[in-house]
Amino acid sequence: MTTTADDAFAALGTLLGERLNRSQSDRDLHGRSESHFNDMPPDAVVYPETTDEVAAIVRICAAAGLPLIGWGAGTSLEGHALAPRGGVTVDFNRMNRVLDIAPEDMVVTVQPGVTREQLNTELRSTGLFFPIDPGANASLGGMTSTRASGTTAVRYGTMRANVLALEVVLADGRVIRTGTRAPKSSTGYDLTALFVGAEGTLGLITEVTLKLHGQPEAVRAAVCAFDSMAGAVDAVIATIQSGIPMARIEFVDAAAAAAFNRAASTGWPNAPHLMVEFHGSTQGVEEQVRRFAEIASEFGAQDFRWAAKAEERTALWAMRHNAYRFTLQAFPGSDPVTTDICVPISRLAEAVEETAAEIAASGIPGPIVGHVGDGNFHALLLPRAGDAAEWATAQRLAGNMAERALRLGGTVSGEHGIGLGKTKYMRKEHGDGWDVMGAIKAALDPDGLMNPGKLLPGN
């Protein structure tokens, strides 16, 4: 007997009651994103509370051939959680418990709906913290699925380096566990790494075990201006190559600094800036501060503004984390296209300068910001809404950034991921490796129901 979509929705209703929602408003909410893609709503939204419920949802939907899309906080930038083929969005908002904190092992296990800010609030009494900071208060399941990073990746690594183990529901409803709490393993394929960054195309993550880090004894942050973009980028390269253990080293160009001034009255010079932070012992941080100031000054740094108090540092980093919002405020009426690339640190200056020159010649605004300590930077391209020519220009600029990254030995995305937006570059970056990814997908999800249309060939 064939199971129809209506049969599946009836079964989901029996399983979940009011936690199955087919209202237009909820479907619309889960059909939009912070990206430039058109809205793509699912046919229904479900709100599981346990792994067993997720497994049951998957089995019901698989029997009816309904696609399944995982949903965290909805902050992705390449349309990862949209539903181009309809189906069921699995919203993990109710799976938001911190399951176990093991301070002696410096690990924590959480459900996927826990956000990074929620986790760090619960960790305050332990002397530990989770450092990955993509800016948005993203869910840890979503951050795992997209292999997120952020401002602190230069010191603490990305999610790839901080996820130790997972619980995953596969496309046939099986529940598997990957990895352990042990710091390392030599037992077969690294299935944990396989699911980190898979963007929900191989299964739905229902538990994440994360590595924690000790809260630093001392923290200092600063912002400084430069006469030129080249000077700021060269200062980043020299700082990294000098071995100074930066916790954060971020770049904003003159256009972004001007947007900060308009939105938050920061009083920064309208010039490129570096934003930096140091973690460690009091003596160690003082030494790092001194060495960085010397290096940056050699490349034209000026107007240093130091922040030692927690509230001062919070205010400083609020500028960087709100760069997207502040820039949109500065350019009302725009239809933003945001993109990122990542290149080897030795090619960073070349990549940034070529990108900035091309944007300047295009006639549309395009502030550049970035986690340049690990070669990753972003452009926020701002064509006017409804202007087809400017929209085409923005798409061309974004495409040229991707091609530039590949030419310089880098990747088309260091942070945003692939989603719907960048699959056209995957063949050029990965070659036959992309087909291998497709073969893995076919083995684990032969009917192509897990987040279809994203990341993989023919998906």
The predicted-structure confidence for 304-319, as pLDDT tens digits, reads as follows: 999 888 898 988 888 8
Selected from 3.40.50.1820, 3.40.50.2300, 3.40.462.10, 3.30.429.10, the CATH number assigned to the domain covering 218-407 reads 3.40.462.10
Cα(first)–Cα(last) distance of the chain, in Å? 27
Tally of CB atoms within 10 A around 23: 10
- Give the closest residue to 159 by CA, choosing from 199, 103, 104: 199
The pLDDT value given to residue 171: 98
Cα–Cα distance for residue pair 289/444, rounded to 1 Å: 49
Which residues, at least 6 apart from 400, have a Cβ–Cβ distance to it below 8 Å?
358
Intervals of CATH 3.30.43.10 along the chain: 5-93
pLDDT above 90 covers a percentage of the chain that reads: 86
For residue range 238-261, list pLDDT tens digits in order. 999 999 999 999 999 999 999 888
Q: Are 252 and 369 in contact (CB under 8 A)?
A: yes
Cα–Cα distance for residue pair 419/74, rounded to 1 Å: 13
Intervals of CATH 3.40.462.10 along the chain: 218-407
> β-pairing, 88-91 with 68-71?
parallel
Cα 458 to Cα 53, 170, 451: the distances in Å are 29, 20, 12
Structural class in CATH, domain 101-214: alpha beta
Which residues, at least 6 apart from 237, have a Cβ–Cβ distance to it below 8 Å?
345, 346, 348, 349
Cα–Cα distance for residue pair 229/252, rounded to 1 Å: 9
Task: Give the position of tokens 């001007």.
Answer: 258
Q: Are 175 and 167 in contact (CB under 8 A)?
A: yes
For the chain, helix (H) and strand (E) counts, in that order, are 17, 18
Cα–Cα distance for residue pair 298/238, rounded to 1 Å: 10
Which residues, at least 6 apart from 252, have a Cβ–Cβ distance to it below 8 Å?
260, 272, 273, 275, 320, 323, 367, 368, 369
3-state secondary structure of 110: strand
Furthest-apart CA pair in the chain: how many Å? 75
Cα 301 to Cα 123, 179, 235, 295: the distances in Å are 37, 45, 9, 9
Intervals of CATH 3.30.465.10 along the chain: 101-214
- Give the closest residue to 139 by CA, choosing from 167, 177, 97: 97
- Give the closest residue to 163 by CA, choosing from 186, 138, 126, 195: 195
The answer to whether the predicted template modeling score (pTM) of the entire model surpasses 0.75 is: yes
Tally of CB atoms within 10 A around 371: 27
Q: Are 156 and 116 in contact (CB under 8 A)?
A: no
In a structure prediction context, what are the per-residue pLDDT tens digits for the chain, which is 459 residues long? 578 999 999 999 999 999 999 999 999 999 998 778 889 999 999 999 999 999 999 999 999 999 999 999 998 889 999 999 999 999 999 999 999 999 999 999 999 999 999 999 999 999 999 999 998 899 999 999 999 998 999 999 999 999 999 999 999 999 999 999 999 999 999 999 999 999 999 999 999 999 999 999 999 999 999 999 999 999 999 999 999 999 999 999 999 999 888 888 888 999 999 999 999 999 999 999 999 999 999 999 998 999 888 898 988 888 888 888 888 888 899 999 999 999 999 999 999 999 999 999 999 999 999 888 899 999 999 999 999 999 999 999 999 999 999 999 999 999 999 999 899 999 999 999 999 999 999 999 999 999 999 999 887
Tally of CB atoms within 10 A around 429: 17
Q: What is the CATH number of domain 5-93?
A: 3.30.43.10
Q: Which two tokens stand for residue 455?
A: 């990341």
Q: Which two tokens stand for residue 220?
A: 């200092």
